[in-house]
Amino acid sequence: MTNAFLVSGVAQVVCVNDPDHAVTQLEVHGGWDARLRTETAAALRGCLAETPQLLIVDLARLDDPAGESAPTWQTAARYVRETGSPTVLVLIGAPPAVARRLPESRIRLAASVGEALAAAAPLDGAAVWGATGQRRHWHLALPPELRSNALARTLAGDACLAFGVPQLTHQARLIMSELVMNAIEHAATDLDVRVSLRGAVLHLTVHDRDATFPRLVEDDPGRPGDWLGRRGLGLRLVAAAARTWGVLPCRLGKVVWATVATQPAAATRPESAS
């Protein structure tokens, strides 16, 4: 499933998503080498696909005296620029050699997380409402009960109408329904569901309090296509209906997200950040 981006993190690349503010923080530490470059590129692809409002890359503990990681950050910045993504990319604590190789006009540098957060308004308060008074961020806290599925579907449909993308209502309701049912069945914790318009994509998330990532169901070679009675099939429906989807860890649990393009031109997916 090439449109799936599951960012679980590894020893030297740690990812944390803040669903309340649409901010993702990626910490990269250790000596920069081919393996770390590959792991970082994979994490960056997943983070950028999720279309956060702000992506903070913490390089304070990165050992890169020659600045060899600079092309990786330049590629990520180029993806944001060329796709028209609303994501603001900020590097904090970049090693001097890295900072010297980065075009100041293309990549934002900051000394701390606080300074990086000032680079983009959080997705709350005034940012919940557009300049014309249109609500652009919908949120609902739900218990892990079956009735929550219907409430989440309604939220997704209402948001599509409010955003002026009624043609996405069916997809959004389907995706939200499958994400919520998956969380109810497997996480069984309180849920937060969110729908927002981020640039040219409709963004849907379900945040539960279980850190365990969902597992995709694969075909049984002995019984191809026989999915009846098997668990985890909801994510296959999500993958079929969404432009991209994935999972990000957060400080409490995880966020399972999906995006739907509001127009055909938004179908570009992140291919590489190496």
Rounded Cα–Cα distance for residues 147 and 165 (Å): 25
Overall number of domains in the chain:
2
Strand partners, 255: 207, 248
Task: Please check whether residue 246 lies inside any domain of the structure.
Answer: yes
- Cα separation, 256 vs 177, in Å, equals 12
Count other C-beta atoms under 10 Å from residue 64's C-beta: 20
pLDDT at 66 over 70: yes
In this structure, are 150 and 37 located in the same domain?
Answer: no
Q: Which of 49-53, 112-116, 200-204, 242-246 has the lowest mean pLDDT?
A: 112-116
78 and 148 in a single domain? The answer is: no
Alpha-helical segments (H) within the chain: 34-49, 70-83, 96-100, 113-117, 147-163, 169-186, 234-241
Residue (of 193, 167, 169) closest to 180 by Cα position: 193
Tens of pLDDT, residues 106-157? 789 999 988 888 866 544 443 444 544 456 789 999 999 999 999 999 999 9
Average pLDDT over residues 61-68: 97
pLDDT of amino acid 136 = 73
Alpha-carbon distance 138 to 115, whole Å?
27
Residue 88 and residue 186 in one domain: no
Residue 91 and residue 167 in one domain:
no
- Interacting residues of 29 by C-beta distance below 8 A, sequence separation 6+: 12, 14, 60, 61, 62, 63
Residue 182 forms part of a structural domain: yes
Compute the 3-state secondary structure of the chain and give helix, strand, coil in percent, each to the nearest 5. 35, 25, 40
Asked if 63 and 103 sit in the same domain, the reply is yes
Residue 161 sits in a domain whose CATH number is 3.30.565.10
Do 22 and 42 reside in the same domain of the chain? yes
Q: Are 8 and 67 members of one domain? A: yes
pLDDT of residue 219: 52
Task: Write the CB contacts of 63 (distance below 8 Å, at least 6 apart in sequence).
Answer: 29, 30, 31, 32, 95
274 assigned to some structural domain: no
Query: For residue range 39-52, what is the model confidence (pLDDT) as tens digits?
Result: 999 999 999 999 99
When pLDDT is averaged across residues 164-184 and rounded to a whole number, the result is 96
Residue range of the domain that includes 55: 4-117
Last residue of a domain, one of 84, 117, 150: 117
Same domain for 103 and 135, yes or no, is no
- DSSP label at 199? T
pLDDT at 261 over 80: yes
Specify if 167 maps to a domain: yes
Residues 90, 152: one domain? Answer: no
The last residue of one of the domains, among 96, 117, 138, is 117
The residue assigned the tokens 């992140």 is 270
Looking at residue 210, its pLDDT comes to: 96
DSSP string spanning 84-141? T--PEEEEES--HHHHHTS-TTTSEEESSHHHHHTTS--SSGGGGB-TTS-B-EEEEE
More confident residue, 76 or 267: 76
Are 145 and 32 members of one domain?
Answer: no
Query: Is residue 272 included in any domain, yes or no?
Result: no
Of the pLDDT bands very low, low, confident and very high (cuts 50, 70, 90), residue 228 is: very low
Query: 224 vs 40, which has greater pLDDT?
Result: 40
Residue 159 pLDDT? 96
Check: CB of residue 207 under 8 Å from CB of residue 191: yes
Indicate if 108 and 43 belong to the same structural domain: yes
In whole angstroms, give the CA distance from residue 269 to residue 161.
25
Please report the pLDDT score of residue 125 as a whole number: 41
- Domain for residue 162, yes or no? yes
Residue 55 included in any domain: yes
pLDDT at residue 3 in the model: 81
Do 260 and 136 fall into the same domain? Answer: yes
Sign (positive or negative) of CA dihedral 40, 78, 107, 251: negative
pTM confidence score: 0.86
Domain end residue (candidates: 76, 93, 117):
117
Q: For residues 208 and 188, what is the distance between their CA atoms, to the nearest angstrom?
A: 8
Please, which residues have CB within 8 angstroms of residue 186's CB and are 6 or more apart in sequence? Answer: 210, 212, 214
Q: Is residue 32 one of the residues assigned to a domain?
A: yes
Residue 33, pLDDT above cutoff 60: yes
CATH number at residue 10: 3.30.750.24
